[in-house]
Structures are given as structure tokens and as C-alpha cells.
Chain A
């Protein structure tokens, strides 16, 4: 087990005091320390938003990309060097708004990536507009009359898209969250970890106390994580009680395992070029 300080970069997080993202950062650092993964073998990829600044606070390799595009970047990186532990991070706007298309496709691809979404149900960095997970009726800067649309349900979406690891955590439950991250990293395939990470500045509705009153751990209630129907049912729970924990986990070959080009090992280690392989030209004669 490594020291957690090994995973802290020289940059201090600049999130608002009380932001849920601090807990996610701490839990992630604790999880990789517990799993004893060498920082050089981790690549953290993010999009744009408050939570997407996270790779800068980690002492690992990182790529801080474009808004909504963390998953394609992470996919390219993982397929190019599958020896790396690739962790994508971002927010609900990044992942379920502008990046929603990539989300569904990455789930069904089952590339071995952990995707941690710090879901605060609001756009923070752009100062408080409605996000794809904002509850219907919520008044925000961009929706003074209340949000008209029904919110995206990321867990249900992942389940019906062929997800093999679908989980939810809460920044108010750091130890639980740490364990979820560890499970997500150990899971062979794409792992979605949606984390309630309250925005203390722009979301005055879905607050720590609001979640504390509602969340419960599915493992405490004998949930069977291999049961898709049960998982879908729990993913739909919102009014009154809200589940956290691993809703669903299944074994399926990863994209890397099925991709023929990777049978010879990570792409980055394979030889380059066609020298000596002139027979490739025969089809043109």
C-alpha cells in the first residue's frame, strides 16, 4: 500500500470551500494508494468544468481535454496503451450534456476505463445554469421558470447500453466512495461511477443534508448486483430514497480483449512500419 501523499500534485485544488469534489479527489487518491498503482502508470483524462480540473491535482499522468470529450480521448489512450490504468473524470454537464453521445458508445464498447462523474446537477464553472441531471422544475439562471425537461438518468442509461459496472457514490460517504473507486478500477471493462458531489454555490436544493436524508447503500439491503432488473428498478428510485453502491456488475470481454490488433500486446510497444513486408504490394499488381 502506497502513501496517499504520493498522489498529490503541487497544485492545490481551487474548488469552492465545501465542494463535493474534494471528497472525490481524496477518495480517488486513497483508492489508488490502497491498490498500490504506480503514479506513472495512471492516466487521468478529463473534459472541461470544475470537476474536470481534477487531473491537475493528481500526481499522475493527465490529459485535460475538451468539454464533453474525455471519453473518446481516454478510449484512444487506453487502446493505444492498455497497460495504463485510465481514469476519466468530469461533471454531469460534460458527460451527460455535451458528451452524452460518447457516454453511451463508450459504455457499449466496454473499454477498461473507470469513469467518475462528479454529478452536482448544475453547471458550476459557467455560474449556475441547468444541467442534464437538474431535477424538473428547478429554477436556475437559465431556467427562471423552472426546468421543463425530464432529467437524464445516467445509471439507467448505462444499464440499458450494455454497461458492465454501474455504480453510484456520494461525497458525504468518503470511505464508501473509496471502496467503489477501488471496485471500479479492478472491474474488467467500462465502469461508471456517478457521484453525488454537491455544488455548495449554485445548487441550493440538492445539498449534503438533502442527500444524507435520502441515500441508502444497496449492499445493506441485500441487493443482487448481478440482477439487471433489480438494478434498473433501483436506478429509477429518486423520490424519497436514493440508492448508492454497485447497482450492477457483469463479466464480459473488454474491447481490448476482443480487438485483434492488441493480441500482440499494447500498440505502443509494437514494431512500426512495413520494411521487409513488400508482399503488401502484391494486390496492386
Chain B
């Protein structure tokens, strides 16, 4: 019973009409890689953020450095923006003809396309009904073709009735390290665009109420990196891999100032082994990668489990299998993370859902890794890692719990690094400490660390050590937060997802409410060890269950089935590389509810 429905972007497009009551404004900036889309998009996002508006920005790009097609989606509103929105925009900045041709029919009535009239033509028949062509004669307005994005940005600021002085500030900050000439050129181009729009284009429409509220504009990876620093991470080793690389980039730029050693390793195997080496001697260490690099790390994850060494591993998922979709999002690695490495050992998997949670759960990951002396994984994905969002603020003063240590304390009798304890946790000592010498071994060992792997018959010790380590899972389950239900308890349907689909599910619940359908959702951030009984209770209370995931086989639903005994039969999945948008999901949920 039940069915799995796959949603594919770009198929069965609805007309470019926002849902009733939606006051957000969507801006798309498209062109070839190298056209300056990200810089224009980020500048626009920053202007909005500094205008007291809220936004979410998602960049859809290809694995090419020059050429190809790239499109930045920015959605701005007066309230919290949960997704990059449905497949339409109010304003399109087309930095090449291809972009204009692709999206001219996706512009809502009253909106328009901004383009360089010297290079691109937009014919009325290409445009959606009521959309306008806003041609800009860039060659008469700026000193270089390279400035066409800045000219368009200036025009857009006018069309949305944002303030030119805000854009001036953003340009000055963005190019602060460049020459004065670069700043002057960009300011002149922006002003020319603004003035041209004021003179030749219709007065602002789709305006939003600006406020003095100041927020932070941040990506998931930046929040992870910041969380690591706040938690006292001193060592980050990694090998470049999209979409995890921007964690490395941000940390590299701040390493010297904030006392972090960033080591680019020769491969992911070295990266995680370095982090474990650093963790062994008492430094909080992290590594980050995506699915392919994570696959290389798996043996060492088991070693961290066996040697009871704390290590934090970020895996930002992208489309698989194999090299798959290097620049596209997916949630397809749940079982790779839960199944990584041979044998049974305690591990933890945290799945942040928002930028704030990227920060908060990263700080928690370090505490858990040291408290339970085991590998702690943070599951992100391209959408969560790379999208930018306005958030209200972050408290950098986070609790730091180093777990049970003998450092600085005398040890009575022989120190046993892997002492059998009721909690399974054995107090750690760091090399350099007097009186606690031990060897940590990836072979099975006794409480004192001495190998038993080659001892002919010591099954009792093996069993005792296995039970000691696994007892940490029971201890952790007693300490980890309980799963929660969010929304109306007696809702018609409970939506279940994990990670980056949080925003989608929140917006879908709002829209369903607008149509008289009540929905709630399961709040799930600590995926492993899983509180199966508590989650099962919540699932059983639901009138109807629908699972929403960005992978082919509904991996979370399968995990919940094994851990709670509740099978979620109705599943909405997506594995085309692009993130979910709310419209098709709302439509599908209504369909599923209609058919009982």
C-alpha cells in the first residue's frame, strides 16, 4: 500500500503566478560561469539584509569554471523565507541571451527581465503575459562589459525601491581590498543603472517594507565553520570536494587569526587520520567532505570508534552514486554514514536543518565526540551547505564539555585507558601527561590497551570490551534530546523529513493551512543513535504520514521503519539534483490526501 512519487524540476510547469497572499519577491540572476553571478547575487542579498529584509539565496550551478549555465535564486520577504520559492521570478537579470531565452516565460506579471541591450535581445513573444523587457545600453553606461552585472544591480535596486546608498555601502565593503579604481567603476556603473531605471522604467512595484532590524547573512557551511571555531576546534584537515570545500575556505581565511590549524591533506584518508591523530593528543579536530571522500574515510571512522578517539566529520551530500552530480544536491548518503566501516561501534549522526542548526549542532558535535569518545558525523547537503539565509544572530559563547579526563589529576594504581565502567566511558589522558602512559590500538585490546587480537583464546575480554564500548550508546540515548512534534497535534497529516527539507516542510505546512488542510511535522536532528521508541510513539499518533526526502529510496523512511516499526508508505522523493520547491509538493500532498 502507499506510493512513492518522484518530483522532477522543470516538468509540468505551473503558470508563473505566485500563490495568493505570498508577499515575497523572487530575483533570478543567470548567465555563464564567470559572468559574476555569485558576486551580483551576494551583493543584492546583502543590500536586502541591510534593508531589514529576510531572504534565502540558492545558486544552481555546474561543475565548470567558465561557461555553462548558472542561476542564482534570491527570494526576499518581510517575514522568514523558508525556500527559494516556486519556479518563477519577479525580476530576472539575464547576463547572456541563453538565460533570457530560458526564463523569459517564468516571469510573473508586472515583473521583468533586465539585460544588456547591446548584447541580448528579448522579443515580446518570449515573455510571459504581463512581464516587461528592461534593456540597458551598458556600453553607454559603464567602462567595461564586465560591469554589466553591476549596472543591472543598480537598476534592480531602483525597480524594488531599495536604497542606492545601501548598495554603495555593499560595493565599498565587497571591494574593500581592491583598488580605488575598481570601487569607483562599480559605484559609477551601479549609479548609472539606478538612474537609467528611474528615468526609463516604470515606478517600483513589488516593494517590501524596509526596517532597521539587522541580521546575519550566512551559508550553512559558514555556520558549520563558525560553530567549529566557537566549540574550540583547533584543527581542520580536509581534501577539496564540493560542496564541503567552502568550510575549508572560510576556516583557511580565519585560521591564523583565531588559532586554528588548517591542513589540506593529500586525500580524504590522510585528512581523517590527521584529525584522529590530533584528537588523540587532545585537540578538538574536524574534517569535512562529500560522499566520495567520505567513502575513503570509512576505515578510519571505525578506527576512531575502536580507539575511542573523538573526531567530527562533516559530510555534505551531493548527487550520487560515484562522482554523480558534483554541484547538485541530494540526501542519498544516510546509509553510507550509518553503515560506514566494519563492525559495530558507537557513532553519532547529527542532521542540521537550518543555518542556525548548522552552527548549534556543530558545537554540540564536539561536546558529544569528547563526552562519548567516538566519531560524530554531521550530515549536510549542497542546499543546506551552500545556500545563504538571513538569521537573527548567533551566541558565540557556547558550552564546551571536554568529557571525562584524568589530565591534571593523580591516577590511583595502574591507569587503564579503556577501563570498563557502568557508562562505558573511560576517562581519557593525553600524551604528555605523567603517569597515564597507554597505547591506543585499532586491534581489539583489553582495558589497559594491550592487544588481545592475536591471543588464541580470550573471548571473554573481547565480549567485555565490545559491551563496554556499545554501552556508550545506551548512555548517550539517556542524554540526547527527545524527538518533538511541531504543529497542531491532531493535524490531518504529519510530514516527515530530515536535513535541508526543513524549510520546504515549514512552507508547505503554511500553504496547506491556507487551503484549510492541517499538517504537522516531526522535528528530527539527532538521527543516530535513534530514539526509536519515542519517535515511533509520535509517528503512531499521526493520522496520516507522508515522507519527503531528496533521494530515490526514501532512506529516512526505511531507517524509521527498522527503528520504530512504523512504515511510512506514502513518499515524495526527488533525485534530479535540484532542491524541492513548495508548489509541486503541496499539489502532491493534496493528491495523496484526496485518494485516502
Contacts and interface: CB of A to CB of B under 8 A. Distances in A.
Contacts of A280: 226, 229, 254, 258, 396
B277 A76 contact: yes
B397 interface: yes
A39 interface: yes
Interface string A53-72: 10110011111111001001
Contacts of A251: none
Interface in A119-159: none
A268 B407 CA distance: 12
Interface in B323-338: none
A4 interface: no
A43 interface: yes
A209 interface: no
B65 interface: no
B277 A66 contact: no
Contacts of B394: 281
Contact of B266 (A80, A105, A273, A284): A105
B559 interface: no
Contact of B273 (A76, A264, A268): A76
A80 B441 contact: no
Interface string B266-299: 1101110111111111111100000000000001
Contacts of B281: 43, 77, 80-81, 84, 268
B145 interface: no
A62 B439 contact: yes
A277 B300 contact: no
Nearest to B398: A273
A63 B280 contact: yes
Interface stretch (A166-174, A176-184, A254-262): A254-262
A72 B270 contact: yes
Interface string A241-263: 00000000000000000011110
B293 to A, nearest CB: 14
A80 B269 CA distance: 18
- Interface size on B, as a range, is 35 or more
Contact of B300 (A14, A69, A78, A261): A69
Contact of B217 (A262, A272, A273, A284): A284
A268 B282 CA distance: 6
Interface string B398-421: 101000000000000000000000
A270 interface: yes
B431 A40 contact: yes
Interface stretch (B232-240, B500-508, B565-573): B232-240
B216 A261 contact: no
Interface string A68-107: 0100111111111101100000000000000001100100
Contacts of B235: 76, 79-80, 267
A268 B438 contact: no
A153 B441 CA distance: 30
B265 interface: yes
Contacts of B256: 260-261
B270 to A, nearest CB: 4
B271 to A, nearest CB: 8
Contacts of B432: 40-41, 61, 81, 83-84, 268
Contacts of A65: 273, 276, 303, 307, 442
A261 B273 contact: no
Contact of B222 (A45, A77, A284): A284
A213 to B, nearest CB: 34
Contact of B439 (A56, A73, A77): A56
Given A79-B278, A267-B283, A272-B232, A277 B258 contact: yes
B400 A62 contact: no
A233 interface: no
Contacts of B396: 273-275, 277-278, 280-281
A69 B442 CA distance: 11
A271 interface: yes
Interface string B425-452: 0000011111111111111000000110
A58 B276 CA distance: 21
Given A62-B439, A267-B283, A273-B398, A285 B214 contact: yes
Contact of B283 (A56, A80, A285): A80
A243 to B, nearest CB: 29
A281 B259 contact: no
A32 to B, nearest CB: 13
A80 B434 contact: no
Contact of B440 (A11, A62, A278): A62
A48 interface: yes
A36 B433 CA distance: 17
Given A69-B273, A102-B269, A285-B214, 4 more contacts: A61-B439, A72-B277, A77-B431, A261-B261
Interface of B: 49-50, 214-218, 222, 226, 229-232, 234-235, 237, 254-256, 258-263, 265-267, 269-271, 273-285, 299-300, 303, 307, 393-394, 396-398, 400, 430-443, 450-451, 454
15 contacts: A41-B431, A62-B439, A66-B273, A72-B269, A73-B274, A75-B263, A76-B237, A79-B235, A79-B261, A80-B235, A81-B432, A102-B269, A267-B259, A273-B400, A280-B229
**3 A-B pairs with the lowest CB-CB distances in the bound complex, closest first:** A76-B277, A272-B232, A62-B439
